[in-house]
Amino acid sequence: MTNNLFKKKVLFILLFAISNFVQAQKSLVLWYDKPSGNVWERALPIGNGKIGAMVYGNVSQEILQLNETSVWTGSPNRNDNPDALASLPAVRKLVFDGKQKEAEILSEKTIQSKKSNGQIFQPVGSLNLRFANHENYTNYRRELNIERAISTTTYSVDGVQYTRTSFVSSPTNTLVVRITANKANSISLDAFFTTPQKNVKLSTNSRKQLILHGATAGHEGVEGNQLKFNALTTFKQQGGSITSNDTLTKITGANEVIIYVNIATNFNSYKDLSGNEIARTEADLQKALPKPYATLLNEHVANFQSFFNRVKLDLGSNPAAEQKPTDVRLDEFRTNNDPTFASLYFQYGRYLLISSSKIGGQPANLQGIWNNKMFPSWDSKYTININTQMNYWPAEKTNLSEMHEPLLKMVKELSETGQETARIMYGSRGWVAHHNTDLWRITGPVDRIFWGVWSMGGAWLCQHLWERYLYTGNKAYLAEIYPILKGASLFFVDDLVEDPRNKYLVINPGTSPENAPAAHQGSSFDAGVTMDNQIVFDMLSVTIRAAELLKKDQQLVDTLKTIRKRLSPMRIGQYNQVQEWMEDIDSPNDKHRHISHLYGLFPSNQISPYRTPELFVGANNTLIQRGDVSTGWSMGWKVNWWARMLDGNHAHLLIQNQLSPLGVNAAGGGTYPNLFDAHAPFQIDGNFGCTSGIAEMLVQSHDGAIHLLPALPDFWKEKGSISGLKTRGGFEIVKMTWTNGKVTSLQIKSTIGGNCRLRIGAALKGKNVNLQTAKGENSNPLFITEETAKPIISPKASIILASIPPTFLYDFTTEKGKVYTFDVQ
């Protein structure tokens, strides 16, 4: 009796633990009770940073739509306009004379690219799996487990339960699909490739493998048929038979089928296409094929979780909502308190970054790594006037530093190609990149000059190089990136010109991305626009700091400091707003999706409640005037802005707006059923932007201290926890818990040592640390905030400073590798 009772207790404990584990897993699963059909935005994304696949989950004809990170049109090319340099004096004079439209018309002829406006990221094709007599099915479910990076589809036909499991392995660079049934000899299928690519050959070989080999086309005069790609599908079945014809492989009566898909190109770099795409697919296949399926799966999960599991987030729960399919939860989120859905979306952004950006691949583009169109919107390029940068806002802070690497490499490559653009078009030293680039690292203007004249892309991207240093404190890395920072600043040294009206040094021609004031007759051109000034300020400042830390280029440092003092300060206009342009011509009725002049609030730190209160209030007014609902990515940016405004409830409202089905927000974006962000159409930057914004609501470290729970909304106040977020100075939040909106426990790890400054809404007590009330500037150089000039305030403005919630500010000295524990008094 005693022994049986003990066994029952052990069994109960195990079942309870398993139940809790399963419940925990549900919070990190997207699931649906119907197939995608032919709707790409319902399919589920998997990837490893090189190969991407969209799994449709259809029953009778499954589709796995395939991408490879380097499959782009064209070949190595440049798009500089050599006529620009001679025309610059005339263009600048027209702008200074208030003839912006005339300057734009002249620039269309002399600065706008006469060559390519960028090449196109394109699909490889689709692997199709056709199952006979599977039209009538029951017990259907498909899901994406973002904690394990596995897509699973299950259903029953005639009493037989079928399971398909798909993942893209990083260790073997292979897409793996396993098909099982609970009855022997029940799996029969036809497998074949389809592709929208034109220059391709579909075939099979003696090993019954499917082969899709081709080359991408040229575009806008850039030579094609140079970038070659190869997709190879291999089958391993238990039981049954396998046959093939010219383009199809047939499996009949199998017990289990494992499918391996390998894709590669001949791309080595933006200037080298000498790789062997066929040999590469075969080499990757040989990494995967000899391994048992269980080994492949376990290696894949272990690799993925080595990144994903670094951060855990608990915002509370709503058990009733968590039992519903993901598309239903999406539909109800804006009117339902479902905090687990917000944490799911946060982690989904991290999942997408891990899956679309890995060392050895390309950076996540406008759609990450997933695209089914030959001519996607905006060519699915790298739009570097916000969208590409937004993709990587979560990288350092959500503990995915490795995922940052492809972007940092691209910045280095742009610093190489951008030197010629700076020389030819501006007669300048250093390097420059405009508002868009592609696989071939073009740096000249792209598309209409209305957008393309913007020359801040390279300098903004440099802030990502600097951010990596601020999070790691790695001096060797700083020495590596210093020439890139220096080159971007040297361009400004030569390109800035004196405004004859006020003697400030300004960028001319400049533009506030994609917007134009009514006062300029529809032209976007101007001189000394606010965002240009902010980015130039940041670029000069980080170069100065880097040079001082490395103890080099003192003469350049002196020059940059002199130039920085002559930049135009930010301004508060007649509507109590941060001005977008140097003139006070903003309209409070302007609802434009870009609010570029708040770059200084986020991702920069030039606007602060503690250092620049007038600008802080002006930013608040600007955000209110622009409104909440906009395109999906714009709402993602606004989550970050409202977090920086210390307004968690408004930030949460933007999350609700963004996490609304497309069509709900009148004249605005939203989210597709698979939780892809809708501009519309799909742009992945909104996903990444919102993930960054949620992190900013919980922890910030840009303003001289680690600020804990700076913008916690009422929806999340009751109880929650976060672990694994990183901050400037090499600190990691090992774990932070809160109850009723107040921190209840805290552990912080120091990875490099140095002073740690904490800002918190309640008094702290350290268990193994000597806390001191903080005074003056943070002694940790990784937290230094550069002081901007005092704003110029319009006589018509009536700024009433906001009351900022009181906080406690503490300093304590840390040692490398040590964890510090605190209680809240």
- At 577, the pLDDT band (50, 70, 90 cuts) reads very high
Domain boundaries defined on the chain: 33-73+123-309, 86-114+402-568
Confidence of residue 824 (pLDDT cuts 50, 70, 90): confident
Q: Name which of 742, 766, 744, 763 is nearest 814 in CA terms.
A: 766
Residue 32, number of CB atoms within 10 A of its CB = 21
The whole-angstrom separation of Cα 342 and Cα 802 is 29
Amino acid occupying residue 794: S
Nearest Cα to Cα of residue 171 among 153, 149, 191, 145: 149
**Range 174-210 burial, b when 16+ CB lie within 10 A, else e:** bbbbbbbbeeeebbbbbbbbebebeebebebeeebbb
What's the whole-number average pLDDT of the chain?
Answer: 95
Angle between helices 100-110 and 84-96 (to 10 degrees): 170
Mean pLDDT of 169-180: 98
33-73+123-309 has which fold? Answer: Beta-galactosidase; Chain A, domain 5 (2.70.98)
pLDDT of 268-307, one tens digit each?
A: 999 999 999 999 999 999 999 999 999 999 999 999 999 9
Query: 213 Cβ partners below 8 Å, 6+ apart?
Result: 200, 201, 203, 228, 229, 230, 231, 277, 278
Per-residue HEC secondary structure of 322-368 comes to HCCCHHHHHHHHCCCCCHHHHHHHHHHHHHHHHHHCCCCCCCCECCE
- From residue 482, alpha-carbon distances to 409, 489, 494, 556, 595 in Å are 14, 11, 18, 13, 30
Q: What is the pLDDT of residue 1?
A: 40
Mean pLDDT, rounded, for 255-280:
98
User: Tens digits of per-residue pLDDT, 397-448?
Assistant: 999 999 999 999 999 999 999 999 999 999 999 999 999 999 999 999 999 9
Model confidence at 379, pLDDT cuts 50, 70, 90, reads very high
Q: What tens digit of pLDDT does each residue of 521-566 get?
A: 899 999 999 999 999 999 999 999 999 999 999 999 999 999 999 9
Q: Who's near 491: CB < 8 A, 6+ residues apart?
A: 422, 426, 428, 429, 430, 431, 432, 458, 459
Cis before residue 680, ω within 30 degrees of 0? yes
Mean pLDDT, range 253-279, rounded to an integer? 98
Q: Are 59 and 35 in contact (CB under 8 A)?
A: yes
- Phi, psi torsion values for 722, nearest 5 degrees: -140, 140
**Which residues on adjacent β-strands are paired with residue 244?**
249
Q: Which residues lie across from 77 on neighbouring strands?
A: none
pLDDT at 20 over 70: no
| Band of residue 667 on the pLDDT scale cut at 50, 70, 90 | confident
Q: How far apart are CA 308 and CA 275, in angstroms?
A: 32
User: Residue 767's pLDDT band (boundaries 50, 70, 90)?
Assistant: confident
HSE of 106, CA atoms in CB hemisphere, 13 A: 20
- Tens of pLDDT, residue by residue over 607-662, are 999 999 999 999 999 999 999 999 999 999 999 999 999 999 999 999 999 999 99
Q: How far apart are CA 741 and CA 694, in angstroms?
A: 15
pLDDT beyond 90 at 364:
yes
Query: Could you tell me the fold of the domain covering 86-114+402-568?
Result: Glycosyltransferase (1.50.10)
Q: Are 399 and 453 in contact (CB under 8 A)?
A: no
Q: Which residues contact 205 (CB under 8 A, 6 or more apart)?
A: 211
DSSP state of 781: G
Is the N-terminal amide bond of 517 cis, ω within 30° of 0?
no
% of residues, the chain, pLDDT over 70: 97
pLDDT digits (tens, 9 = 90+) for 100-125: 999 999 999 999 999 999 999 999 99
Question: ∠350-355-356 over CA atoms, to 5°?
Answer: 100
Task: Give residue 25's pLDDT band: very low, low, confident or very high (50, 70, 90).
Answer: very low
- Residue 27: pLDDT band with limits 50, 70, 90: confident
Please report the pLDDT score of residue 19 as a whole number.
40
Alpha-carbon distance of 298 to 292, in angstroms, equals 10
Q: What are phi and psi of 301, to 5 degrees?
A: -65, -45
pLDDT band for 215, please (50, 70, 90 cuts): very high
Helix, strand, or coil (residue 2): helix
Both structure tokens of 534: 């902010």
Q: Is the dihedral of CA 689, 694, 697, 701 positive or negative?
A: negative
Question: Per residue in 83-92, pLDDT tens?
Answer: 999 999 999 9
pLDDT (tens digit, 9 = 90+) per residue, 182-197?
999 999 999 999 999 9
pLDDT, residue 424, reads 98
Answer whether residue 22 shows pLDDT above 90.
no
pLDDT, residue 718, reads 96
CA distance 164 to 151: 8
Residue 80 has pLDDT above 60, yes or no: yes
Q: Which residues of 778-811 are buried (b: 16+ CB within 10 A; e: fewer)?
A: bebebbebeebbebebbeebebeeeeeeebbbbb
Q: What are phi and psi of 311, to 5 degrees?
A: -120, 130
According to the model, what pLDDT value does residue 292 have?
A: 98
SS3 305: helix
Q: Is 272 exposed, middle or buried (0-12, 13-18, 19+ CB in 10 A)?
A: exposed
Return the residue matching tokens 């006070």: 584
Give pLDDT, residue 9. Answer: 39
**Cβ atoms of 562 and 492 closer than 8 Å:** no
3-state SS assignment for residue 427: coil
CA atoms within 13 A on the CB side of 152: 16
Instruction: With residue 232 as reference, give the H or E element that holds it.
Output: strand 228-238
Residue 5, pLDDT above cutoff 80: no
What pLDDT score was predicted for residue 6?
35
With CA atoms as reference, report the closest residue to 66 among 177, 146, 140: 177
Q: Comparing 33-73+123-309 with 86-114+402-568, is the CATH topology the same?
A: no
DSSP codes joined into one string, 56-73:
---SSEEEEEEEETT-BS
3-state SS class at 44:
strand
3-state secondary structure 460-527: HHHHHHHHHHHHHCCHHHHHHHHHHHHHHHHHHHHHCEECCCCCCEECCCEECCCCCCHHHCCCCEEC
pLDDT of 227-252, one tens digit each? 999 999 999 999 999 999 999 999 99
